Structure 1
Amino acid sequence: MLSRLSMIMTAAIIWQFSSSLTLAQSQKPKQPDKFPPSPLEKITPDPLLSPLVDPQKLTPEQLQQLAPQIDRLNETAKAKLEVGDQVAAFEIWNRELRLRRLFGSLSEVQALSRVGAIAFNQNNREEVQYITQRLQTVQKQVLSQPLVDLQLLRSLGEAYQNVRSPQLALEVYDRVLATVKQQKDTAAIVDTLKTMGEVHLAWFDYPKAASTYQELLGLATAQGDNLNKVAYLQELAYIYEQAKERQQSINTLSKLAEIYVSENNTTQLPKLKMAIASNYQALAKENPSLLAAAFKNYQEAYTTAWELQQYVDAGEALQQLITLYRSQGQIDDALQTSQILVEAQTQAANFYGMMQAYDQIGQIYLERKQYPQALAAFQKGLELAQELKYDESYFAQQIEKVSKGNL
């Protein structure tokens, strides 16, 4: 009986498996239809064009008469989009784009760029794809010509940016750069490199952005252009910071500091020194010998800021020093620096900062079981908290905690 039942169950499983296979085969997805042809390549005559005239042979006068009508198509499409009819809007824009081709590649690319930006913002991926394909077709035609049309190439690059195709944009800008370098057009070289740098940065390609701005820095240095040299160093400092390239960041910030000192422009030095110190502090996790450089730069940041009466920056540098001292067990130095921090926050009229400084002093004394000193610090903190009407209960709790510990 059990044997017969087993045979029946086995047969049922085989039948079910076979049926599933048959069903799966019968439900096998059909091959997707070929992607529909681009509406930008539609060959049906446009109502604005006479069927008796070859569109490619329109005279300048006829094109001039046609231009306002094409402009109206753009306005009509914008109106359709404003009322939410995206389908109708892009149908009209596609008509406009087909007609713009009659006015030459530059006019067409500029229109493709404009509509491409709208398509991307409307999340119309299909339209973005059509426009990108058309831009690539125009690009091939342009590059097949013996003479390079720089204005057209730049417009192509901008259009690719508008449809968010950075690699295609950079391919075009590479060609522009090669051409202007061949022409030894320094201004055009700089403009092109700046554009390429912005594209790299927009897409978070920090290594290529750094390479581009290094080239710009080299040009500015060779020309003795200190203004742009500083601007490029600032860009590089930002890039290296974002890329966590600590040593490169230190090198770049140090060059900036040297320039500021040589120009007697010391107002930026405290922030630069703090940034340098922060990088050394990060590197010191792998190489503890670099902690000395971190201390040195935080101290220089504080002293420079104090001399310049930049007490907010001085306070920030002092706080970083205190944290670093405490992490290294240099508690006496941390306490001494905390007292200076109170003075810096007083000079900056930063009552909240003063309150926090007293809290910090109190916590350090509390850790050392120096209760009278801790109590005095927390009481000063409470006075400020009462003035600010902020964290009063916290300081009251700290005072109670110290009082119990002091019994």
Structure 2
Amino acid sequence: MFKWFRLIIITTTVFCLFGGSLTLGAKKKPQQPDKFPPNPLEITTPDPLLPRSPDKQPLNVLEKRRLEAALDKLNQEAAVKLRAGDKVGAFDIWNRELRLRRHLGTLVEITALSRVGAIAYNENNRQQVIYITQRLQKIQQPIKSQTQPDLEILQALGQAYQQVRSPEFALTAYEQILVTVRRRKDTAKEVETLTTIGELHLSWFDYPKAAATYEELLVLANSDNNINSQIIYLQKLASIYTQAKEFSKSIQAKNQLVEIYRQNNNLALIPGLKLAIASEYESLTKENPDLIQEAFKNYQESYTTAWQLEQYARAGDALRKLIALYRAAGQIEDALQTSQTLIQTEQLAANFYGLMNAYDQIGQIYVERKEYAKALNAFQQGLKFAQQLKHDENYFNQQIKKISELMAT
């Protein structure tokens, strides 16, 4: 009896093992889960907040008002959950809200997508940003082929793309706006759109496209003889070309600014511009040494104009640059003469630190020329200011000691 019972157990176990395996083997292999989950903004499941399917019969005004009030509450609930640290719950609610916002109109939906997109980006919710970007693209797709698109919707799309940091998609919206406003000969809107496009290119460090856009704006400003706009666009171009290290173009823009400032008797800004122009010419001398004269000329003009305007600190900046350039070119006498002018300028500016450094530079030049008595005098003068500033006193004492020893030998 026991043997028979044992045989039944063994047979049953074998059947379960192999029979089960055969049964499982007969089934299809389970499908792999989707690598990318479906966009929750595209779910079409009926929602309790909708009285019926809007596809069959659009909502009336009263129903839209009720829905809008309910969606505003959902937005508030999501914000509360986010503040409580429940990010998943918050975005689940926001996604429901966004799905339903489309029944209130395209512009309303885009505005809501923009709002939630900004939150998603700030919360570093990359997947949610992707969902919103995909939905914006779906809305934009049919608009691309329209010859008379709704500019308000395109503007909203561009702003929404900026909220989710998608400049390439934002640009497609603004470029379509640009084509449309040009067709309508709406110059004011053209300027506004080009400005937005230029700023978008700049925000992503696309200097060539940013420069091309501001060049277009400058043409428009010139045609209207709009001096204020000319100044703004030239300043932008000068900055862009400097950052892109296109110094020749930067110099051209800055020189145009200098002329405008002179014509309008706005001289105060010229010394700084001339200083920048000189510095850029100095950079260009690496490829074209002949441009060194342009660097000298602009440093001198910067100093002269600054002196006349009593901008002594700016004048000192120009003189220091000139001295360095003279020394590099081996024009030591010119460097010394300019250093004496620098002393006078720093005195007028009451710049003790500048005076200390100026005497240090003079002392170094005299040491190079082995004129130790003059070098000693310069370092002693420098020490006086170092003592007042309580800065670099040891340095000047060491220099004085070295020169004294050289003079004693």
* Cross-structure match for 1:257: 258
Greater alpha carbon shift after TM alignment, 39-48 vs 389-398: 39-48
Instruction: Measure the CA separation in 2 of the matches of 1:333 and 1:192.
Output: 52
**Equivalent position SS for 2:260:** helix
Larger radius of gyration: 2
The 5 A counterparts of 1:242-321 are: 242-321=243-322
SS across alignment from 2:38 = coil
Aligned-pair Cα RMSD in Å: 1.6
Aligned partners of 1:362, 1:135: CA distance in 2, in Å? 68
State the partner residue of 1:80.
Answer: 81
> CA 1:306 to 1:146, structure 2 compared with 1: closer, same or farther past 3 Å?
closer
- For residues 146 and 193 of structure 1, what CA distance do their matches in structure 2 show? 19
User: How many percent of aligned residue pairs carry the same amino acid?
Assistant: 58
In structure 2, give the amino acid aligned to 1:399. I
Q: CA deviation at 1:32?
A: 7.4
Aligned to 1:126: 127
**C-alpha separation in 2, matches of 1:145 and 1:250:** 43
> 1:180-191 residue pairs with structure 2 within 5 A?
180-191=181-192
Corresponding residue for residue 17 of structure 1: none
Tell me what 1:380 maps to.
381
Kept in 2, the 8 Å contact 1:49–1:55? The answer is no
Cα offset for 1:342?
1.4
Q: Contact 2:201 / 2:207 at 8 angstroms: preserved in 1?
A: yes
Query: 1:45-64 alignment to 2 at 5 Å?
Result: 45-50=46-51, 57-64=58-65
Q: Distance in 1 between matches of 2:404 and 2:48?
A: 92
Higher mean Cα deviation, 55-64 or 389-398? 55-64
Separation of aligned partners in 2, 1:344 and 1:333: 16
Question: In the alignment, what sits opposite 1:202?
Answer: 203
CA deviations on 1:75-105 (whole Å, 9 max, x unpaired) are: 2212222222211111111111111111111
Matched residue, 1:14: none
Name the SS for the 2:245 alignment partner: coil
1:221 aligns with 2:222: yes
The 10-residue stretch of structure 1 (48-57 or 237-246) with the greater mean CA deviation from structure 2: 48-57
Supply the distance in 1 between the matched residues of 2:56 and 2:312 (Cα, whole angstroms): 72
Q: Indicate how the Cα distance of structure 1 residues 52 and 170 shifts in structure 2: closer, same or farther if over 3 A, else same.
A: closer
After superposition, the C-alpha distances for 1:12-32 in whole angstroms (9 at most, x for unaligned) are xxxxxxxxxxxxxxxxxx977
Residue 46 of structure 1 and its aligned partner are, at CA, apart by 2.4
| Residue number in structure 2 paired with 1:341 | 342
Residues 305-360 of structure 1, C-alpha deviation per residue, up to 9 Å, x if partnerless?
Answer: 00000011101100110111111111111111111111111111111111111111
Q: What do residues 215-234 of structure 1 show as CA deviations (whole Å, max 9, x unaligned)?
A: 00000100111110111001
For 2:79 and 2:347, how far apart are their aligned partners in 1?
58
Bigger mean CA deviation after superposition, 75-84 or 215-224: 75-84
**CA spacing shift, 1:353–1:49, aligned 2, 3 Å:** same
The letter of the residue matching 2:386 is: A
- Equivalent residue of 1:164, what SS? coil
TM-score, normalising length: structure 2: 0.89
The amino acid of 2:403's aligned partner reads: V
Preserved contact between residue 311 and residue 347 of structure 1 (Cα < 8 Å): yes
Deviations 1:156-214 (A, max 9, x none): 01111111111111111111000000000000000000000000000011111111000
List gaps (5 residues or longer) in structure 2.
1-30
Deviation at 1:142, TM superposition (A): 2.7
Aligned partners of 1:55, 1:156: CA distance in 2, in Å?
27
Instruction: Give the Cα–Cα distance (whole angstroms) in 1 for the partners of residues 118 and 92 of structure 2.
Output: 16
CA contact (8 A) 1:56 1:102 kept: no
The number of residues matched between the two structures is 378
For structure 1, which runs of at least 5 residues remain unmatched after alignment? Answer: 1-29
Match of 1:95 in 2: 96
Do the aligned residues in 2 keep the contact of 1:306 with 1:314 (CA within 8 Å)? yes
Greater shift, 315-324 or 115-124, is seen at 115-124
**Contact between 1:280 and 1:290, CA under 8 Å: does it hold in 2?**
yes
Partner of 2:132, secondary structure, is helix
Q: Which residue of 2 aligns with 1:367?
A: 368
Tell me the TM-score normalized by structure 1. Answer: 0.90
1:51 shift after superposition: 5.5
